[in-house]
């Protein structure tokens, strides 16, 4: 199984990056997880020609080619970081690779809540019709106190958290298989092209 | 009423902008609404703070000054736009203008939703603790199908919509007025009096007295007589001053001294509580007139010196003596760098003076051993000096064969000992020893440095010759006043009295490099302003990189492992800045892989004098399993490597009599540390082992064996042969220890004139370096007492070369 892991932070040091690196290595026997950074993407700005900048196109191509996507989000001010939001806006405004793509949400935070509010927002955002990601329901993986959660060699040091993550990931593997099976005959071309209300804003409501 | 309207999108065309413009004009007689755009706001990045950029400062200033804020948000993917989110992240990072600010949310969208989901998200975001805005509840203004809502003049068409907006807006005016009342600082009344509290210092609690009148904090006095001079005095001066100036407990802590800073603030808070007031109200008050003006600054001087430690201040004093103007730039609030932390005297061979002191046991033996060395084992450049030294030693040893002899020394002995002491081989088999010409300069000019310091105003205690810790000969010149600080105090007094400028809180970010020519430095000041200093010469005196673990690990070739969480005895300012600056103009580096560790340091702080620090004959070192692992009399390097091999953390075991031989402690401090859990005490060895999570049988066995060896005077396991006390008298103690970084020997490659050299060995014009930032002298191991000699000698040389080459 080929998966993409999106690091939802543009910070130099990010425990969400560490979390994905851990997953990449820990689940290497079950899936090939390719980590993608958003930190070098430009800020979203509604380009008139609706073409994706190179970095966004590369990310989009990787998502298209993957069986599923894992997003690891920090929490800034009860929501996802602007940098992650910007990346999502690019995808929804240009290529829409997340339509029907199975998505797993994880997150790490320095405090005790483990990015819970950001994850709830991210679910609602990815559920918008212009994104239409197939988010794995119910399971959530929240890693609190993330600054002390990883050993020097990148291992997650709490065995109960490792077990929880293993259970979530096993479920996601099933979810990816089932979702892709279920949706394999759906034609999404039309949706990739459809105009959504917020983008019409930029054109003064004109198509 | 003055309001700010924020257009929540960076799109060229936006109905939300139109809506705000309509409100601006429609409500013009009720309120002045200034609309600000977020188009130029950079993407938020916590690793690249741009709070001080003009655009964020403009938002900060305008919002702070306004009575309220209206945010008009579009809806992108069921949430607010990333552009708006980015702005809010900046405004909740290092500045918080929205804290308590009344906010009205409006929104427009093409769909029938009118940005409903985005508005809910925005409410939650504005409610986050870092933002903490006062968002008006209810009164949701959602403008759906917005493309039909405005006429050609930009007015809303629907009377019903206009009326609803008017209702919402008039509610907001009342809400803002009431809400802003909450922002008026809480009235605070004290029961007048002087309150005795304490604040934590480096060496235990310090007594502090706080005098409060009915309305004001009048006086804060801290008794610092027990404190190490120099390190914390900037805290004890600045924090009380800021508290009194601003009548606030909202005070910035001082970098490098955050524990002490918080201690003072908490002490005052405690006094406020004792006086019957709530300290939280004082914490919510604004900071003392922080100069918000961050005008860029521009200076021109003769010599600019990076770092206000011993080397930098020496270079500044020397520059002034030559009639030229120096500016010293220091990134920390306090001056002194590592020099204020120096515990030892400085080395200089002064045979005439040393002659007055009788030799002590073992010294003749040391000299015999040196004289007996095979000259073939001495590197060729040192060999002629060695042969001359051998003659000196043989003459002395013959002359003083069987009579009460005097303490011998010579410049040659000092040179050869510096060379021998520094010779090391790293893990890859690379041998390193001190570069001859630099070691010659150091040892030839050491005594001159002592005399120069005496002229500047450092008083030396000539009645005693000492051996600094880690030195191998008694040639230490000890200042009469408390060691490291004495140098800094005298030098900074001299520099200030003679018109030299020292700029603290100013962090040098780059060298001005014009077409390959260094012409000064660029720094960031305390308020984020750009400080440019043009100078004829630049002296780098910023210290080594002992407090930069990443850099240590990157270059290390000597230790098998450097832990990620390794502590240091250095000032936290010592992060290799000067080495990076030198590299930016092509400087060569030398000996970077070698660093010196203090094996017996506090695992949490890197301090040497916590717990029970006793003489080595009374050391009993056990690893985390409770077993001895090394000859406690070993060299620093041997102890450090053994500790690393045993997982870093180890314990010094002591009994009640060994406790009495500990330096720098008192029963009060010991009890405090036991209570704080940083020192372990138990009535039995088994109990102590349990506290340390060791197998009691193992630790008991270790102690029994050690006591047996002490009786026999010999340790067959590790070869310890100098013993004093046994471990037998309860209560028993365990002091946790771990190696900490003490000195980095490597650095910029320099020549005898303190020029920084490039990789081709050529001089980099007008760039000089002195002190720990430079490498080559101490090679693999620096003798105790030699870093002071280094900074005072090469600090003078750097300034001297700069002046004679660049200013004459």
Nearest to B417 by CA among B466, B364, B366: B366
pLDDT tens column, B317-336: 999 999 999 999 999 888 99
A127 touches chain B (CB under 8 A): yes
Min CA distance, B134 vs chain A (Å)?
15
In this prediction, residue B289 carries a pLDDT of 61
pLDDT tens column, A124-181: 999 998 899 999 998 889 999 998 899 888 999 999 999 999 999 999 999 999 999 9
A15 touches chain B (CB under 8 A): no
The percent of chain A in helix, strand and coil, each rounded to the nearest 5, is 40, 15, 45
Using a CB–CB cut-off of 8 Å, the residues of B that contact A are 9-15, 42-47, 74-83, 85-86, 88-89, 92, 109-111, 117, 121, 124-125, 127-128, 130-131, 146-147, 564
Among the partner residues A44, A81, A89, nearest to B89 by beta-carbon distance: A81
Q: Which residues of B623-656 are buried (b: 16+ CB within 10 A; e: fewer)?
A: bbbbbbbbbbbbebbebbbbbbebebebbbbbbe
In this prediction, residue B341 carries a pLDDT of 85
pTM tops 0.80, yes or no? no
The answer to whether the Cβ–Cβ distance between B47 and A205 falls below 8 Å is no
Q: Which residues of B414-437 are buried (b: 16+ CB within 10 A; e: fewer)?
A: bbbbbbbbbbbebeeeeebbbbbe
In this prediction, residue A192 carries a pLDDT of 64
Six-digit token string for B449: 């440095």
Instruction: Provide the pairing of β-strand B460-466 with B326-329.
Output: unpaired
Chain A hits for B75, Cβ within 8 Å: 198
Angstrom distance (rounded) from CA B453 to CA B463: 17
Six-digit token string for B241: 């001053």
Q: Rg of chain B over CA atoms, in angstroms? A: 33
Angstrom distance (rounded) from CA B201 to CA B264: 9
Six-digit token string for B726: 């046994």
Q: What is the mean pLDDT of residues A99-116?
A: 93
Q: Does residue A206 carry a pLDDT above 70?
A: no
Chain A hits for B143, Cβ within 8 Å: none
In this prediction, residue B232 carries a pLDDT of 60
Q: Does residue A207 carry a pLDDT above 50?
A: no
Task: Identify the bridge partners of residue B744 per DSSP, sorted by sequence position.
Answer: B595
The answer to whether the Cβ–Cβ distance between A89 and B76 falls below 8 Å is yes
Domains parsed from chain A with CATH numbers? 2-193 (3.40.50.360)
Mapping DSSP to helix (H, G, I), strand (E, B) and coil, where does residue B174 land?
helix
What is the DSSP code string of B239-299? HHHHHHHHT-S--PPPTT-HHHHHHHHHHHHHHHHHTT--HHHHHSSPPS--------EEE
The answer to whether the Cβ–Cβ distance between B117 and A89 falls below 8 Å is no
Chain B interface disruption, residue of A10, A42, A197, most B CBs within 10 A: A197
The answer to whether the Cβ–Cβ distance between B85 and A81 falls below 8 Å is yes
Mapping DSSP to helix (H, G, I), strand (E, B) and coil, where does residue A34 land?
strand
Three-class HEC string of B152-172: CCCCECCHHHHHHHHHHHHHH
What is the DSSP code string of B691-719? HTT--HHHHHHHHHHHHHHHHHT--TTT-
ipTM beyond 0.85? yes
Residues of chain B where predicted confidence (pLDDT) is lower than 70: 202-204, 226-232, 256, 289-294, 401-404, 664
Among the partner residues B43, B74, B125, nearest to A86 by beta-carbon distance: B43
End-to-end alpha carbon distance in chain B: 64
pLDDT tier at A200 (50, 70, 90 boundaries)? low
Torsion of CA B150, B155, B160, B163, to 10 degrees: 140
Chain B hits for A128, Cβ within 8 Å: 77-78
pLDDT tens column, B2-49: 999 999 999 988 999 999 999 999 999 999 999 999 999 999 999 898
């Amino acid at each position: 199984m080929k998966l993409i892991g999106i690091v939802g932070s543009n910070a130099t040091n990010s425990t969400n990056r560490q979390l994905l690196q851990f997953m990449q290595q820990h689940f290497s026997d079950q899936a090939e997880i390719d980590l993608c950074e958003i930190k070098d993407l430009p800020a979203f700005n509604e380009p008139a020609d609706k073409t994706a900048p190179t970095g966004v196109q590369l990310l989009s191509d990787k998502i298209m080619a993957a069986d599923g996507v894992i997003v690891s989000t920090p929490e800034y001010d009860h929501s996802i970081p602007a940098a992650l939001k910007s990346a999502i806006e690019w995808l929804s405004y240009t290529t829409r690779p997340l339509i029907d793509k199975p998505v797993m949400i994880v997150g790490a935070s320095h405090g005790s809540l483990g990015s819970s509010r950001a994850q709830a927002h991210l679910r609602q955002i990815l559920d918008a019709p212009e994104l239409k990601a197939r988010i794995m329901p119910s399971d959530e993986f929240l890693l609190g106190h993330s600054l002390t959660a990883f050993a020097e060699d990148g291992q997650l040091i709490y065995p109960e958290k490792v077990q929880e993550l293993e259970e979530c990931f096993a479920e996601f593997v099933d979810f990816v298989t089932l979702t892709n099976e279920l949706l394999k005959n759906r034609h999404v071309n039309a949706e990739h092209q459809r105009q959504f209300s917020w983008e019409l804003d930029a054109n003064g409501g004109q198509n | 009423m003055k309001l700010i309207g924020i257009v929540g999108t960076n799109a060229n065309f936006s109905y939300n902008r139109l809506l705000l413009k309509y409100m601006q004009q429609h409500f013009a007689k009720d309120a002045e609404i200034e609309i600000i755009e977020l188009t130029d706001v950079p993407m938020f990045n916590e690793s690249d703070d741009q709070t001080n950029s003009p655009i964020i400062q403009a938002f900060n200033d305008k919002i702070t000054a306004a009575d309220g804020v209206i945010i008009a948000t579009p809806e992108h993917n069921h949430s607010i736009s990333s552009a708006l989110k980015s702005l809010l992240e900046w405004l909740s990072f290092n500045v918080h203008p929205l804290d308590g600010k009344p906010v009205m949310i409006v929104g427009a969208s093409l769909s029938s939703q009118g940005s409903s989901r985005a508005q809910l998200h925005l409410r939650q975001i504005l409610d986050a603790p870092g933002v903490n805005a006062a968002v008006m509840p209810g009164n949701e203004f959602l403008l759906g199908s917005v493309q039909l809502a405005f006429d050609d003049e930009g007015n809303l068409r629907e009377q019903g919509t206009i009326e609803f907006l008017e209702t919402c807006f008039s509610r907001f005016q009342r809400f803002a007025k009431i809400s802003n009342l909450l922002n008026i600082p809480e009235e605070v009344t004290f029961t007048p009096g002087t309150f005795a509290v304490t604040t934590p210092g480096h060496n235990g609690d310090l007594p502090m007295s706080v005098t409060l009148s009915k309305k004001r904090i009048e006086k804060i006095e801290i008794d610092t007589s027990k404190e190490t001079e120099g390190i914390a005095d900037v805290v004890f001066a600045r924090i009380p001053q800021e508290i009194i100036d601003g009548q606030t407990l909202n005070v910035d802590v001082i970098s490098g001294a955050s524990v002490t800073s918080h201690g003072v603030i908490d002490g005052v808070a405690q006094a406020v509580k004792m006086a019957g007031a709530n300290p939280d109200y004082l914490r919510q008050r604004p900071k003392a007139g922080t100069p918000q003006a961050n005008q860029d600054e521009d200076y021109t001087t003769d010599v600019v010196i990076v770092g206000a430690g011993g080397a930098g201040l020496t270079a500044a004093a020397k520059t002034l003596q030559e009639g030229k103007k120096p500016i010293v730039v220091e990134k920390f609030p306090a001056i002194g760098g590592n020099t204020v932390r120096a515990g030892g005297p400085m080395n200089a061979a002064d045979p005439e003076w040393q002659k007055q002191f009788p030799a002590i046991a073992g010294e003749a033996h040391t000299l015999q051993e040196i004289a007996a060395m095979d000259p073939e084992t001495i590197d060729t450049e040192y060999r002629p000096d060695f042969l001359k030294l051998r003659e000196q030693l043989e003459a002395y040893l013959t002359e003083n064969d069987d009579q009460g002899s005097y303490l011998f020394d010579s410049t040659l002995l000092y040179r050869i000992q510096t060379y021998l002491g520094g010779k090391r081989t790293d893990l890859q088999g690379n041998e390193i020893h001190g570069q001859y010409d630099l070691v010659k300069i150091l040892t030839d000019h050491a005594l001159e440095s002592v005399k120069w310091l005496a002229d500047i105003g450092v008083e030396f205690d000539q009645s005693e010759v000492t051996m600094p810790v880690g030195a191998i000969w008694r040639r230490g010149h000890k200042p009469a006043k408390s060691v490291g600080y004495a140098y800094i105090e005298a030098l900074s007094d001299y520099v200030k009295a003679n018109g030299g400028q020292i700029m603290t809180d100013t962090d040098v970010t780059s060298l001005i490099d014009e077409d390959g020519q260094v012409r000064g430095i660029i720094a960031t000041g305390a308020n984020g302003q750009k400080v440019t200093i043009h100078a004829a010469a630049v002296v780098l005196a910023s210290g080594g990189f002992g407090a930069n673990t990443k850099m240590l690990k990157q270059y290390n070739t000597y230790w098998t492992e450097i832990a990620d969480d390794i502590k240091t005895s250095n000032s936290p300012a010592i992060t290799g800045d000067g080495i990076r600056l030198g590299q930016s103009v092509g400087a060569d580096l030398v000996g970077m892989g070698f660093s010196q560790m203090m094996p017996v340091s506090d695992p949490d702080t890197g301090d040497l004098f916590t717990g029970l620090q006793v003489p080595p004959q009374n050391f009993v070192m056990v690893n985390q399993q409770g077993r001895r692992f090394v000859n406690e009399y070993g060299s620093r390097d041997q102890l450090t490597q053994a500790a690393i091999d045993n997982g870093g953390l180890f314990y010094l075991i002591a009994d009640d009599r060994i406790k009495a031989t500990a330096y720098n402690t008192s029963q009060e401090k010991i009890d405090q540390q036991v209570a704080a859990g940083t020192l372990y005490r138990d009535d039995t060895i088994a109990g102590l082992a349990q506290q340390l999570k060791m197998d009691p049988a193992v630790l008991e066995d270790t102690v029994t064996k050690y006591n047996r060896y002490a009786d026999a005077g010999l340790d067959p396991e590790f070869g310890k042969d100098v013993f004093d006390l046994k471990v037998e008298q309860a209560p028993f103690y365990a002091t946790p220890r771990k190696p900490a970084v003490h000195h980095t020997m490597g650095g910029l490659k320099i020549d005898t004139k303190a020029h920084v050299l490039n990789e081709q060995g050529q001089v980099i014009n007008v760039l000089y370096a002195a002190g720990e930032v430079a490498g080559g002298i101490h090679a693999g191991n620096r003798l105790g007492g030699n870093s002071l000699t280094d900074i005072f000698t090469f600090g003078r040389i750097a300034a001297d070369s700069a002046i004679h080459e660049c200013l004459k």
